[in-house]
Structure 1
């Protein structure tokens, strides 16, 4: 495989990787594959410059003439190319950052250095910064409900290539060393070529749990302590105060993997328990390794230094532990007190881990006392730290010991806070059935909302609310109850921190929240006793349709004003989490109205919480793609409404985002830093007055959102044949069979309506066929209608773009989506639609809106071409097109064959190739769901 002349370090690496991939193809593929790959690439590049029907026909003839095995290898070659490009760009980004750090000058926007220098220049005092630190919480939540197409084994190979590429740059190598490294990279590419990138079997939820856990061991356990070291150093350098500032451990992680049962029949109570025990096992293994490491470092002799009295007292208590529990004395490390302490800590951790492993195997064994909880381990680590500092070894305490302390403060024994999610209808069904089983009970389903709230509140407050005979219940209701019982049991056994929020998707009424509270009451998680109200379940209603976002303050006001809910909220600390759904609101009303309704909903719910004296945290259900709330984290946080972040941000990390951000510790460190600096900037409202957004900007956005929704609904709901168009021009029928997630593609089987299609395959399908429609449709019509030919109105929109981070982020993300769209390729997919006249009519509407949106966005941003302000991103996405174009045409051919009734006996063969093409296009576009 050849490549154009390189201009940058990134281009040189891409050329190198492409050359090595060509060598692998030459030696280990069918002889024609390399020639086909290059000729298709070059041919479609020529078509990009100028359409040539004769050349297009020749290229399609070449694709149609390929036998299935050659076609498979061509697709795989493109897929591996995209993986190598991603690695080269990631390596180059890391090396550029390291070069800036080494030079000792100012660092990039979003770095801790840049952020704190800006704070200091703006007059923020050390006390104000300390106050800000005390209120921070950065909480990414890993989910498996998206469509991460990469296998774990491939991620490991790609990690090795990443490290080898860094070595190639980092060291001054002689020719022999260079050849050795190149040989190793060649070998790893060869391994990629001979490893199947498509899963043979659909993943089980346990596989998804392992996939999520991979990023902690491979990356986050390394990146997190480094991040805190960087922040500590930057604070000392810029705020050089007499009294050292304390940076608390404010990063935590959440997860939905094994807890998200909304529409996923494979997530059972036992699945959730398995996920939690796997999390505990992983984090305990990490602590054991690090304590073993510390034991090789802290070899201080008590003949040469004097540990603190508190530490020595703890050694006496440890001796009692050995004698009373283990029936033996600790004989090792007589003059090495820290190693002696660490040996006891290691033993106690091992006992704790053995207990977790036994329960993973289904055994409830009685083992000698280990650690009851992470607090006990933390106290032992603090004792060592304070003792080291007492005899002049503070610098030693600041090393690996502090790294371990940071990890324990962050991950405890739970690793992540596991959120539970279920759809509101499932709770309503359970409560309806439970009420129906009570003697003389009226029909709950016939109640209006006010009657439901009354019945629920009376049951929650009752000492013996409902008589339950589980044997008489339906399977669904019995399972729903078992989830709450599991939460109660594992909170008591492991830690109250093991669970995060109970998320209720499709929250339409206040009763949907109170139904969950009743189910919690039945499991002993909430209720009323002689000591008063108690509540051990944090409920997060999820508002995800346009209608629900519009009514968010009405629903939450009903809850906040309800005596029973208010009492339970007070018992749990006057804290409320509210989740916002980006995906379904976008699918429902289009990107413009979704984005604006989310903005308004945040403002209204925060104002409501303030009026009731309630601390409210917003939970952002962002996806990887723009159509699902994606985009750079730093800009996304700054684009939130003024004074709604308030030190805390919680958001989902979905799909391919996990591997792009967290597969390598070097990149994870950068991504976490960018997110946290965005959080700090957006939270300045906690310590200083804020500048309100201009009212006229808000009014303009409201008008744009209204017109954008009208345009979007005209297409998706009123255009005859539109749903058929969607199913036929996208590979949704294959996406549903792709082994990349355990979740079905539809909420209801055999329901082809827009409501039934899940937001992820909706966005995924449009991206595959290069429409990327959910991320931009309606924006052009709305802007064109508002501004007309009025130059003053255009000038006002341009000021909005320059002055308002929300509007700037919206249009910047729109540029990226427009760049990824390709109307000439999208038009090729219309060949797949049976009703060609209908397809042409719908496509013309889409193409016209694309052109309108492109024109308006460029005018407002003052640009000649898309992504002109971010040239690196422009080049990155542009270089993929040479390989995406042939892949899209291959996919069109495969869809035709897969759907051809005359080839039913070969259908499985075409499906396998089609799934490979989906994987490859997703890798090339750097997004799936």
Structure 2
């Protein structure tokens, strides 16, 4: 393991330790020759990035020649060595993030960590926000995180579980002063996990089913997020008291979890009405089991005896009523809980949850027995019993003998209900139009229309069984008109999703504006909807109009700059239209993990949103791969939630950095002009040059990506060319070949055109320094440029037909132009000069990603020449590069 420059010492030591253990495993499992081959590849890769220019060229040539001669039997263990190394590096970086947070909190004297809730609340106090005003916002604030399956983890859950065990070993070593024996045991356990990791196949044998994806997403809720949501009121109270010197008081958890997995029908034929219904019941069954477990654990805490405490009349009456309603529970546990009223009450609660669970499992198995009288009908019924426990224990002077644990459970039930995550439905707008037309006597609905109507019927059944909170959102992808929303509205009413008493549907219809035209036309669509009398009555009863804005398809259509400008315009205008109409608006941000799909640092992204567009409410997708590095461990999840909540608080209370009103017209006009310049450059390459599609197909592993078993959904929405390709594989393919052009192409041309005018560069520099939104866009472009490697991308470009060579030279020129102009706008001599942690992460990774890229090029060449047995090592390169780059799409 070579020295890693400019990296924090503890991080370097952990990387070195796990790297050495991996080396020992490779020698043991594959032999000295394989280890020496891997080391030779690694040294050449490092030499390619260091030393004099001539030496770098020589190392690159030697590396390419070595990999060209390498037989497939040797390629696989070499690939596995590098991809396993990256899993370990990712793990170490996660652990280092946790370590830094803890060290910051322990030090204390340095003040709260930047972005934390404590730091945010201190900023609010210093900005003049009163404790009463902050309490008011916290009481009404709602943050919704919608978990999705795409892009699904390129890694198997089996592999991730092993890395999580390694993570716990690293964390335990950090937090505890180990004895020599304990150190030896920890070292041996790490070696065992890495050995088992090496012996485990990192590739799935087949694509995951929708059910597999449901289990994967709910794992994060059950194992990590549920506990963090239960603790969130205490976290908020701690931060509030530290900032304002007084307790916050009782507060519900402001975070809610939703999921698309099992309800997203957009281009996924595997999400059938039956799968949708089973997903809803799986959510309920897993949620009830989780709550039953929590109640059982609480039973070991609330062991108070009536000999030593006062038992309220309310609790006594409740126990008598429970004994009549649940005689079998009384018969089984009555003697065991004699004289322990709180414990007995918990046994009855457990019995009611069990009765509800048996009913749900029976429905999943096809049985039709009615819900037993004793079973809980809704989370509200369970909350009533938990509040009774809390009151009675307070009366018994048990405020420090279990009340806090009851309050945590109350917070959990409020946050996740019986379903862990509220399921949402997404369907193409054209399906809603077809279904609505058939209901009015038109032609038979399309297959998509039939499926939508069937799913809506299943949603009505689920709401009648479990209440509206199990599933009440219908998102229309590719929506472009008020007619789309009204068609879905009619379908919901016809399906029985209607509340006569309130005069509204029991589902929120959410248009998803994705492409440039739809984003620009969204305000007009809302105006039309708000003037529709019946729909307006529905909105009045529901209390909110949710609108989703997509960051992916617009970027694929018109490039990063034009999409960014359109999103800002749309959010500003949608907010204004709703304000004028007196309708509460909730914007739903369909962000991906990559910059080209709206990714970037969470808090900065929220703070950069248009003024007034948050207003105490924030909703965004959390997609596939993001779950692992944001929510795989409790400390990471807590930090992520604090960053999001802090951003929402600062924005809602107007304490975020803002563009000066006098600058706004000029800056927005300049940005729109930049966007048009970038759009022209991007469209000229991607959509107007007939050589582009052949180049894209040859210079990226797009066809191989379609074969990678990482998700249940096809890579295309429908048959067709580039226009039907989803944004995820589009970005994934460019990330694999290291060009990542969706994240920067067209930016350099636009900056150069505007910046070369008299006063242009000065204007751009001011925009970067004074406008948070533009600042975030440019910083994200800088990050993508730093992760890109145009020299390696050139090797992929050499796979394309000779006729496309001028097109590649155009891309290279734009890359150089963009790097040059981004540095001029930011005033930095090097990309990411102001972000040392990201710099060191990229520096740590790139030399080890390079061999997989070189080998992927060679394998693509061999496969396209007709050589057999290339598929598996190719898939290994795809998975390995994804792990190293930390992106799929």
* TM-score, normalisation: structure 2: 0.96
Deviates further, 3-12 or 387-396? 3-12
1:646–1:685 Cα contact (<8 Å) kept: no
1:19 counterpart residue number: 20
1:54 to partner: Cα distance: 4.7
Change (3 A) 1:107 1:327: closer
In structure 1, C-alpha distance between the alignment counterparts of 2:670 and 2:450, rounded to whole Å: 51
> Following TM superposition, by how much is the alpha carbon of 1:691 offset from its aligned partner in structure 2, in angstroms?
6.3
Say yes or no: does 1:297 pair with 2:312: no
8 A Cα contact 2:393 2:403, kept in partner: no
Instruction: Give, in whole Å, the separation in 1 of the partners of 2:682 and 2:659.
Output: 35
1:736 corresponds, among 691, 699, 706, to 706
Q: 1:871 aligns with which of 836, 839, 844?
A: 836
Corresponding residue to 2:850 among 880, 885, 892: 885
**Equivalences for residues 172-571 of structure 1 within 5 A:** 172-241=177-246, 244-323=248-327, 330-366=334-370, 368=372, 369-435=374-440, 438=441, 475-526=447-498, 533-571=503-541
Change (3 A) 1:3 1:218: farther
Q: Distance in 2 between matches of 1:218 and 1:659?
A: 12
Distance in structure 1 (CA, Å) of the matches to 2:658 and 2:741: 40
Structure 1 match to 2:802: 836
Match of 2:34 in 1: 33
Contact 1:633–1:675 at 8 Å: present in 2 too? yes
| Matches of 1:325 and 1:27, distance apart in 2 | 56
Give the Cα separation in 2 of the matches to 1:603 and 1:316. Answer: 58
1:173 match: secondary structure: coil
Aligned with 1:800 (options 767, 770, 775): 767
- CA shift for structure 1 position 279: 1.3
- Distance, in Å, in 2 between the alignment partners of 1:535 and 1:714 is 45
Question: Is contact 1:322–1:329 with CA below 8 Å preserved after alignment?
Answer: no
Indicate conservation of the 8 Å contact 1:226/1:669, yes or no: no
Match of 1:926 among 882, 886, 889: 886
For residues 549 and 257 of structure 2, the distance between their equivalents in structure 1, rounded to whole angstroms, comes to 18
- What is the match of residue 448 of structure 1? none
- Whole-angstrom CA distance in 2 between matches of 1:395 and 1:670: 28
1:715-726 maps to which residues of 2 (within 5 A)? 715-726=685-696
Q: Per the alignment, in what secondary structure is the counterpart of residue 888 of structure 2? A: coil
Secondary structure of the 2:67 match is helix
Output the CA distance in 2 between the equivalents of 1:134 and 1:230: 15
Tell me the CA shift for residue 620 of structure 1: 0.4
Tell me what 1:647 maps to.
Answer: 616
Distance of 1:244 and 1:626 partners within structure 2: 37
Q: Which moved more, 1:66-75 or 1:324-333?
A: 324-333
2:862 paired with 1:897: yes
Q: Is the 8 A contact 2:427 2:452 kept in 1?
A: no
Question: Aligned residue for 1:857?
Answer: 822
In the alignment, is the contact (CA less than 8 A) between 1:323 and 1:329 conserved in 2?
Answer: no
Q: Provide the rounded CA distance (Å) in 2 between the counterparts of 1:353 and 1:31.
A: 55
1:782 to 750, 771, 780: 750
Alignment of 1:814 onto 2:763? no
CA contact (8 A) 2:146 2:258 kept: yes
Q: Per the alignment, do residues 227 and 14 of structure 1 end up closer, same or farther by CA in structure 2, a change over 3 Å counting?
A: farther
What's the CA shift for 1:830?
Answer: 1.1
Q: Cα distance 1:271–1:735, how it changes in 2: closer, same or farther (>3 A)? A: same
CA distance 1:864–1:54, change in 2 (3 Å): closer
Cα distance in 2 between the residues matched to 1:570 and 1:915: 52
Preserved CA contact (<8 Å) 1:420 1:503: yes
Alignment partner, residue 48 of structure 2: 47
CA contact (8 A) 1:642 1:690 kept: no
> Root-mean-square deviation (CA), in Å?
2.2
How far the C-alpha of 1:735 sits from its partner, in A, is 0.6
Report if the CA contact (8 A) 1:10-1:88 is conserved: yes
Equivalenced residues, count: 882
Q: Distance in 1 between matches of 2:526 and 2:731?
A: 30
C-alpha deviation, 1:476, in angstroms:
4.4
Could you tell me how far apart the structure 2 residues matched to 1:380 and 1:887 are?
57
Alpha-carbon distance between aligned partners in 2 of 1:57 and 1:563, rounded to the nearest angstrom = 70
Distance 1:17 1:84 in 2: 7
8 Å contact 1:625–1:631 — kept in the other structure? yes
How far does residue 99 in structure 1 lie from its aligned partner after superposition? Answer: 1.4
Whole-Å separation in 2 of the counterparts to 1:490 and 1:382: 27
797-806 vs 842-851, greater mean Cα deviation: 797-806
Structure 2 CA distance, aligned partners of 1:113 and 1:542?
35
The Cα shift of 1:478 comes to 3.2
Cα gap change, 1:851/1:473 in structure 2, threshold over 3 Å: closer, same or farther?
closer
Comparing 135-144 and 678-687, the one that deviates more: 678-687
Q: Which residue of 2 aligns with 1:81?
A: 85
Aligned mate of 1:704, from 674, 677, 682: 674
Structure 1 residues not aligned, in runs of 5+: 444-471
Separation in 2, partners of 1:7, 1:602:
40
Q: What is the CA–CA distance in structure 2 between the aligned matches of 1:694 and 1:571, rounded to whole Å? A: 36
* Structure 1 Cα separation of the partners of residues 851 and 708 of structure 2: 21
In 2, are the aligned partners of 1:539 and 1:577 still within 8 Å (CA)?
Answer: yes
Q: Secondary structure at the match of 1:110?
A: coil
**Offset from partner CA, 1:843-898 (integer Å, 9 cap, x none):** 11111111111111112212111111110111011111111111101000111122
Q: Contact 1:389/1:397 (CA < 8 Å) preserved in 2?
A: no
* 2:146 aligned residue: 141
CA contact (8 A) 2:748 2:818 kept: yes
Q: Label 1:42 to 1:244 Cα distance change in 2 as closer, same or farther (>3 A).
A: closer
What is the deviation of 1:61? 2.6
**Change over 3 Å in CA distance of 1:279–1:686 after alignment to 2:** farther
The answer to whether residue 611 in structure 2 is matched with residue 619 in structure 1 is no
Could you tell me how far 1:475 is from its partner in structure 2?
A: 4.9
Provide, for residues 575-599 of structure 1, a one-character-per-residue CA deviation record: whole Å limited to 9, x for no partner.
1000001000000111001011001
Question: How far apart are the structure 2 equivalents of 1:324 and 1:927?
Answer: 53
1:467: which partner in 2?
A: none
- Give the equivalent residue in structure 2 for 1:769: 737
1:92 aligns with 2:96: yes
What is the deviation of 1:532? 7.5
1:345, distance to aligned residue in structure 2 (A): 0.7
Of 711, 714, 722, 2:684 maps to: 714
Counterpart-to-counterpart distance in 2, 1:157 and 1:104 = 34
The one-character-per-residue Cα deviations of 1:671-726 (angstroms, maximum 9, x if unpaired) are: 11111111111111499999646322212111111111111111112223011111
The 1:761–1:687 alpha-carbon spacing in structure 2 relative to 1, beyond 3 Å, is closer
Using the TM superposition, give the Cα deviation of residue 474 of structure 1 relative to its aligned residue in structure 2, in angstroms.
6.3
State the distance in 2 between where 1:746 and 1:702 align.
31
